[in-house]
Structure 1
Amino acid sequence: MSLRFIHTADIHLGKTYRHGGCEVARSEDFFTCLAGIVNDALVEEVNFVLIAGDLFHTGQILPRTFARTIEILQPLKEAGIPCVAVEGNHDWIHRRDSISWMEALSQMGYIRLLRPTRTAEGGYLFEPFDEEQGCGGHLVVGDLNIYGLGYIGAQAGNHVPRICEAVTTENNLLLFHVGIWTFSPVEIGNMKPEEALPLADRFGYVALGHGHKPYLVETPEGRPYGFNPGSPERVNFGEQRYDKGYYLVTVENGYFHHTFRSTDPRPMHAVTIDLDGTSDAETALENVHRQLREALDTGQDERRPLVALKLVGRVAFHPFELGRERLFTVLEEVCRPLHAEIRNHLSLVTRSSDSASAKKSLADIEKEVLHELVGANSQYKDRQDELVALSLSIRDLVLKGEVSDDELLGILARDANIDKK
């Protein structure tokens, strides 16, 4: 029989920036994106929808995020279109005595969460999905067998033989939150192409997630078998380079025919401004303004963009003179960004009798100051490098709005051996 389905991944509901007044608008971007995919599923009258992990940005979501998710998935439930999902690394909760939000959605019938069980010998059991309990590792739609397992970490390649041994049916699809080296843009949670290749013999379609860039994985003969649609919304800076969308797939006589459907993510720009040779801060600001206008093509999109601004070059004034407030003022004049991140990598050129010139970057100055402050306490003298690196990492996370207060305390307790107060 002929089947049609949508394959998406890495939705990251709940992702936002917790400062700058853009929390609601940025969070809504991801809900809007999922709502568009749900609407397409209804219009195309697909048989099911696949979500290959990371439906949520974090395992501990806000109740309003959960309520909004239910609201968006409700039309699929009413239309009788199964939404089949697995957990990604972002969906995990670390307290296994508690029910996860993904498990709650499955028990309520909004998704079919696939998760296999394990044998005493370490093998996999893909038990039939139980609609009443909302759990299982295998379900059948039409004549297609759908198997699923979520994120299993950096050793995923070692699990492939056991996954294949556990599947004895024909006409199979695997939903798997894992990346493939040489294709995936992320550095962890991948397996080698040669490790993944046995999956091609057992599954006609391996629905991947994890990396936010779309790509296909082929057999040596050139047959596509692994499909990663990437994230449909831009999650992190750098993703402005990738196409954004999902796969619409038709299955006929055991063959999978895929089409990439583009989505409409919020505009994102990463701009590097070269200020090399600039003599004073006022001239530098004028150059920033001019280069930003030349680099940013806002087009007809009325949505406020996300902007990453990086300043580079050797200048004859102190880099601190280009403070964040002054740079934000320029950004506001040029493009009114919803959110902006600024990296000042300017180098200060100084003159001395011993050398023609020497340079010291703002990053070097920050490290030196922190090094002195930490070293002023004899208790931390042997840990200066470690604590300076930790301080700068926390600073970057806070500026990005990526972590909550509890998560910051967890980082301190884990990486700096500082007890929570």
Structure 2
Amino acid sequence: MATSACTFLHLADVHLGCDRYDSPERSKDFFLAFRDVVRRHAIQKRVDFVLIAGDLFEHRQIQPGVLNQAQLVLRELKQAGIPVLAIEGNHDSRPYGVKTSWLRYLADHGELILLEPEEGEQGLELHPWSDGRGSYLDLPCGVRVIGSQWYGSAAPKSIEQLAAAIRQLPPGPERVVLMFHHGLEGQIARYQGALRYRDLLPLREVGVGYLALGHIHKSYAEEGWIFNPGSLEATSTAEWDLPRGAYRVRWGEGPPQAELVQDYYQRPCQRLYLEAKGRETPAEIAAAALAMAKEVGPPGDGPEPLVELRLVGQVGFAKHELDSRALQRQIQQLTGALVVLFRFEANSLEIGSAALSLEEEQRLQVEEKIYRDLLSSHAHYRKRSKELAQLLLDLKERVLEGQSEAEIYTRLSGAFVGEED
């Protein structure tokens, strides 16, 4: 007898209440993304259920308005007859010593199904969901969904315990989903404590056919059974370029077929790179940045963008000499951005701002004196300090003008013709 297909929407890392950049509108983006992806890909396309694999909220303690955002979306799903199954992530898990969480509050009020293993004498125990409590639920569409919690550094050991507990479950649907909030190694840089693929294999051996991950804000899939959708919205500029979305899954005969959906409300992001060469004044840097902003232009019919300006390369002035706040305001006016972020990532040249703030002739005199002082301190170069200082100034100009290494080498070699080692 053929197995009828079921469909579900796999979300993670919604982060309602994310409040970076001190912008209420930006915080609202996370709610709008959550509501829009649910309306488009769960309610309008009639899925059988929705999974939230951790971090529905940004903070463990939330404001009333953030709770209301969650309730508005969850009630739309409830009215549509679509159950929502969730687990706690590291952001919304209960604080140490506290017996409840906001996810537990929502579960107790019938707005979602919170699946949680229990600690037993022999390790983790899985109990069927009943009267608002439980660890797993067999759904009418022929899928068993099992929950877990945020385990942190204990994740490898917890996986072994979960596998042992799954092995002891009574017979049920062959299609098994496990929600697990943790990351897989090799997906993003500088992530300590990521799981290795082989750490997850005990789950596959006990029949888990769809491992619904969360935690890493980048979408990825492994070997046709491990899926991580990424966050719905970027929580920082470092995530702007990461693929993310939600998985809309159809599971019939054979392995699950997961499609990453990204066509829902997301605020546009624009990153500008300005490379300094070391000769520009603060005013020239500001003018170049504004010229780049003019090319971005004001937004169209969509939401105002987030704009980030990164100043890279080398500068010959101190960071405080560039009025970054005024520059941000001007860029905001030109682009219509909701938020303008400025990153001063350029390295300062040793000569410093005092030399470059002088007229060109005075600047060259100061640079020459610095070079001559350095050369005079070395016995081998003392007699030629003036000549070599001029050479260094010439070489610097050639580098800034973009001359080739061959041309620069020819100039340098000519200065030392006949020089003994």
TM-score, reference length from structure 2? 0.77
Instruction: Indicate conservation of the 8 Å contact 1:314/1:349, yes or no.
Output: no
Q: Separation in 1 of the partners of 2:56 and 2:76?
A: 17
From 187, 200, 209, give the equivalent of 1:204.
209
Q: Separation in 2 of the partners of 1:108 and 1:284?
A: 56
Which residue number in structure 1 is paired with residue 258 of structure 2?
A: 258
AA aligned to 1:135 is: R
| 1:321-373 residue CA offsets vs partner (Å, 9 max, x unmatched) | 1122222133213323222332223314414232779xxxxxxxxxxxxxxxx
| 1:356-406 residue CA offsets vs partner (Å, 9 max, x unmatched) | 79xxxxxxxxxxxxxxxxxxxxxxxxxxxxxxxxxxxxxxxxxxxxxxxxx
Q: Secondary structure at the match of 1:275?
A: strand
Q: Separation in 2 of the partners of 1:273 and 1:59?
A: 39
Which residue number in structure 1 is paired with residue 219 of structure 2?
A: 214
Change beyond 3 A, Cα 1:79–1:228: same
| 1:318 positional shift | 3.0
Change beyond 3 A, Cα 1:348–1:117: same
Instruction: Indicate conservation of the 8 Å contact 1:318/1:348, yes or no.
Output: no
Instruction: Indicate conservation of the 8 Å contact 1:315/1:349, yes or no.
Output: no
| 1:80 positional shift | 2.1
Which residue number in structure 2 is paired with residue 391 of structure 1?
A: none
| 1:128 positional shift | 0.9
| 1:256-309 residue CA offsets vs partner (Å, 9 max, x unmatched) | 111111133111233331122333221111111223445x48774532222232
AA aligned to 1:80 is: G
AA aligned to 2:136 is: H
Q: Separation in 2 of the partners of 1:216 and 1:298?
A: 37
Instruction: Indicate conservation of the 8 Å contact 1:11/1:54, yes or no.
Output: yes
Matches for 1:78-227 after TM superposition, within 5 Å:
78-121=79-122, 123-130=123-130, 132=131, 134-142=132-140, 143-168=142-167, 169=171, 170-184=174-188, 187-201=191-205, 202-218=207-223, 224-227=224-227
AA aligned to 1:203 is: V
AA aligned to 1:124 is: L
Instruction: Indicate conservation of the 8 Å contact 2:54/2:92, yes or no.
Output: yes
AA aligned to 2:341 is: E
Q: Secondary structure at the match of 2:237?
A: coil
Change beyond 3 A, Cα 1:75–1:87: same
Which residue number in structure 2 is paired with residue 280 of structure 1?
A: 281
Q: Separation in 2 of the partners of 1:186 and 1:247?
A: 25
Q: Secondary structure at the match of 2:103?
A: helix
AA aligned to 1:57 is: E
| 1:113-133 residue CA offsets vs partner (Å, 9 max, x unmatched) | 111012223x22111112x3x
Matches for 1:22-33 after TM superposition, within 5 Å:
22-23=23-24, 25-33=25-33
Change beyond 3 A, Cα 1:186–1:89: farther
| 1:155 positional shift | 3.0
| 1:238 positional shift | 2.1
| 1:83-110 residue CA offsets vs partner (Å, 9 max, x unmatched) | 0001111112314435211100011111
RMSD over aligned Cα atoms: 2.2
Matches for 1:232-311 after TM superposition, within 5 Å:
232-253=232-253, 255-262=255-262, 263-294=264-295, 296=296, 300=300, 302-311=302-311
AA aligned to 1:265 is: Q
Q: Secondary structure at the match of 1:151?
A: coil
Q: Separation in 1 of the partners of 2:249 and 2:189?
A: 24
Q: Separation in 1 of the partners of 2:149 and 2:279?
A: 52
Instruction: Indicate conservation of the 8 Å contact 1:154/1:188, yes or no.
Output: no
Q: Separation in 1 of the partners of 2:275 and 2:301?
A: 27
Q: Separation in 2 of the partners of 1:136 and 1:189?
A: 28
Q: Separation in 2 of the partners of 1:331 and 1:126?
A: 55
| 1:163-211 residue CA offsets vs partner (Å, 9 max, x unmatched) | 1111134421101111110125561452111111232232010001111
Q: Separation in 2 of the partners of 1:213 and 1:227?
A: 11
Instruction: Indicate conservation of the 8 Å contact 1:60/1:93, yes or no.
Output: no
Instruction: Indicate conservation of the 8 Å contact 2:332/2:340, yes or no.
Output: no
From 8, 12, 15, give the equivalent of 2:18.
15
Which residue number in structure 1 is paired with residue 7 of structure 2?
A: 4
Which residue number in structure 1 is paired with residue 337 of structure 2?
A: 337
Q: Separation in 2 of the partners of 1:160 and 1:250?
A: 26
Q: Separation in 2 of the partners of 1:259 and 1:298?
A: 33
Percent pairwise identity = 31
Q: Separation in 2 of the partners of 1:185 and 1:249?
A: 28
Change beyond 3 A, Cα 1:298–1:18: closer
Q: Separation in 1 of the partners of 2:189 and 2:318?
A: 36
Structure 1 unaligned regions, length at least 5: 219-223, 358-421
Instruction: Indicate conservation of the 8 Å contact 2:332/2:338, yes or no.
Output: no
Q: How many residues align?
A: 345
Q: Separation in 2 of the partners of 1:313 and 1:5?
A: 48
Which residue number in structure 2 is paired with residue 374 of structure 1?
A: none
Q: Separation in 1 of the partners of 2:190 and 2:54?
A: 15
Q: Separation in 2 of the partners of 1:293 and 1:238?
A: 24
Q: Separation in 1 of the partners of 2:118 and 2:240?
A: 38
AA aligned to 1:9 is: A
Matches for 1:312-391 after TM superposition, within 5 Å:
312-346=312-346, 347-350=348-351, 351=367, 352=370, 353-354=373-374
Change beyond 3 A, Cα 1:183–1:345: closer
Based on CA coordinates, which of the two structures has the bigger radius of gyration? 2
Instruction: Indicate conservation of the 8 Å contact 2:179/2:212, yes or no.
Output: yes
Q: Secondary structure at the match of 1:109?
A: coil
